[in-house]
Amino acid sequence: MGHVPKKNAVYNQLDRASTSIPLNIAEGNGKSLPRDRCKYLEIARGSAFECAAALDVLVAKGIIEENKIIEGKQILKEIISMLIGLIKRNVPDRICETQEKYVFEHD
Protein backbone atom coordinates (compact mmCIF):
# COMPACT_ATOMS: atom_id res chain seq x y z
CA MET A 1 0.00 0.00 0.00
CA GLY A 2 3.05 2.21 -0.08
CA HIS A 3 2.03 3.72 -3.44
CA VAL A 4 -1.49 4.66 -2.36
CA PRO A 5 -1.99 8.13 -0.89
CA LYS A 6 -3.22 7.77 2.70
CA LYS A 7 -5.91 10.39 2.08
CA ASN A 8 -7.51 8.09 -0.50
CA ALA A 9 -10.66 6.33 0.78
CA VAL A 10 -9.54 3.06 -0.81
CA TYR A 11 -6.36 3.18 1.29
CA ASN A 12 -8.40 3.22 4.49
CA GLN A 13 -10.73 0.48 3.27
CA LEU A 14 -7.82 -1.72 2.19
CA ASP A 15 -6.10 -1.12 5.52
CA ARG A 16 -9.22 -2.11 7.49
CA ALA A 17 -9.99 -5.16 5.34
CA SER A 18 -6.41 -6.45 5.38
CA THR A 19 -6.25 -6.02 9.16
CA SER A 20 -9.58 -7.83 9.52
CA ILE A 21 -8.27 -11.04 7.92
CA PRO A 22 -5.75 -12.13 10.60
CA LEU A 23 -7.78 -10.68 13.47
CA ASN A 24 -10.87 -12.69 12.53
CA ILE A 25 -8.83 -15.84 11.98
CA ALA A 26 -7.36 -15.39 15.45
CA GLU A 27 -10.73 -14.71 17.04
CA GLY A 28 -12.26 -17.70 15.29
CA ASN A 29 -9.48 -19.97 16.52
CA GLY A 30 -10.39 -18.94 20.04
CA LYS A 31 -13.90 -20.35 19.67
CA SER A 32 -14.58 -23.88 20.81
CA LEU A 33 -17.61 -24.63 18.65
CA PRO A 34 -16.89 -25.27 14.95
CA ARG A 35 -19.87 -23.20 13.79
CA ASP A 36 -18.68 -20.23 15.86
CA ARG A 37 -15.18 -20.67 14.46
CA CYS A 38 -16.56 -20.70 10.91
CA LYS A 39 -18.41 -17.44 11.45
CA TYR A 40 -15.09 -15.64 11.94
CA LEU A 41 -13.37 -17.55 9.14
CA GLU A 42 -16.17 -16.45 6.80
CA ILE A 43 -15.71 -12.85 7.88
CA ALA A 44 -11.98 -13.19 7.16
CA ARG A 45 -12.80 -14.65 3.74
CA GLY A 46 -15.11 -11.74 2.99
CA SER A 47 -12.38 -9.31 4.01
CA ALA A 48 -9.95 -11.03 1.63
CA PHE A 49 -12.44 -10.60 -1.22
CA GLU A 50 -12.82 -6.98 -0.18
CA CYS A 51 -9.03 -6.51 -0.39
CA ALA A 52 -9.04 -7.95 -3.91
CA ALA A 53 -11.83 -5.58 -4.91
CA ALA A 54 -9.97 -2.62 -3.39
CA LEU A 55 -6.92 -3.49 -5.48
CA ASP A 56 -9.15 -3.57 -8.56
CA VAL A 57 -10.56 -0.16 -7.64
CA LEU A 58 -7.04 1.25 -7.34
CA VAL A 59 -6.29 0.04 -10.86
CA ALA A 60 -9.62 1.29 -12.22
CA LYS A 61 -8.96 4.73 -10.75
CA GLY A 62 -5.46 4.81 -12.24
CA ILE A 63 -3.79 5.05 -8.83
CA ILE A 64 -1.78 1.85 -9.29
CA GLU A 65 -0.77 0.03 -12.45
CA GLU A 66 -2.25 -3.44 -12.87
CA ASN A 67 1.18 -5.12 -12.84
CA LYS A 68 1.71 -3.76 -9.30
CA ILE A 69 -1.23 -5.70 -7.84
CA ILE A 70 -0.53 -9.12 -9.37
CA GLU A 71 1.41 -10.46 -6.39
CA GLY A 72 -1.17 -9.17 -3.91
CA LYS A 73 -4.03 -10.77 -5.84
CA GLN A 74 -2.16 -14.09 -5.97
CA ILE A 75 -1.59 -14.00 -2.21
CA LEU A 76 -5.27 -13.19 -1.65
CA LYS A 77 -6.26 -16.13 -3.86
CA GLU A 78 -4.18 -18.45 -1.65
CA ILE A 79 -5.64 -16.96 1.53
CA ILE A 80 -9.20 -17.36 0.24
CA SER A 81 -8.52 -20.97 -0.78
CA MET A 82 -7.08 -21.77 2.65
CA LEU A 83 -10.02 -20.14 4.42
CA ILE A 84 -12.52 -22.10 2.31
CA GLY A 85 -10.63 -25.29 3.24
CA LEU A 86 -10.70 -24.40 6.95
CA ILE A 87 -14.41 -23.65 6.80
CA LYS A 88 -15.16 -26.96 5.08
CA ARG A 89 -12.95 -28.84 7.54
CA ASN A 90 -14.66 -27.31 10.56
CA VAL A 91 -18.22 -27.84 9.37
CA PRO A 92 -18.24 -30.34 6.49
CA ASP A 93 -22.04 -30.76 6.52
CA ARG A 94 -22.61 -27.02 6.44
CA ILE A 95 -25.60 -25.86 4.43
CA CYS A 96 -24.66 -22.88 2.34
CA GLU A 97 -24.70 -21.44 -1.12
CA THR A 98 -22.44 -23.00 -3.70
CA GLN A 99 -18.89 -21.83 -3.22
CA GLU A 100 -17.68 -20.03 -6.29
CA LYS A 101 -14.02 -20.53 -6.99
CA TYR A 102 -12.08 -17.29 -6.81
CA VAL A 103 -10.30 -16.86 -10.12
CA PHE A 104 -7.59 -14.36 -10.79
CA GLU A 105 -6.80 -14.08 -14.45
CA HIS A 106 -3.89 -12.10 -15.71
CA ASP A 107 -2.91 -11.74 -19.35
Domain limits, the chain: 9-90
pLDDT in tens, 41-61: 999 999 999 999 999 999 999
pLDDT of residue 100: 59
Distance between CA atoms of residues 50 and 44, nearest Å: 10
pLDDT of residue 5: 74
Contact 11, 4 (CB under 8 A): yes
* pLDDT (mean) for 32-38: 91
pLDDT of residue 21: 98
Distance between CA atoms of residues 72 and 70, nearest Å: 5
- Rounded to two decimals, what is the model's pTM? 0.80
Domain 9-90 has CATH 1.20.1440.60: yes
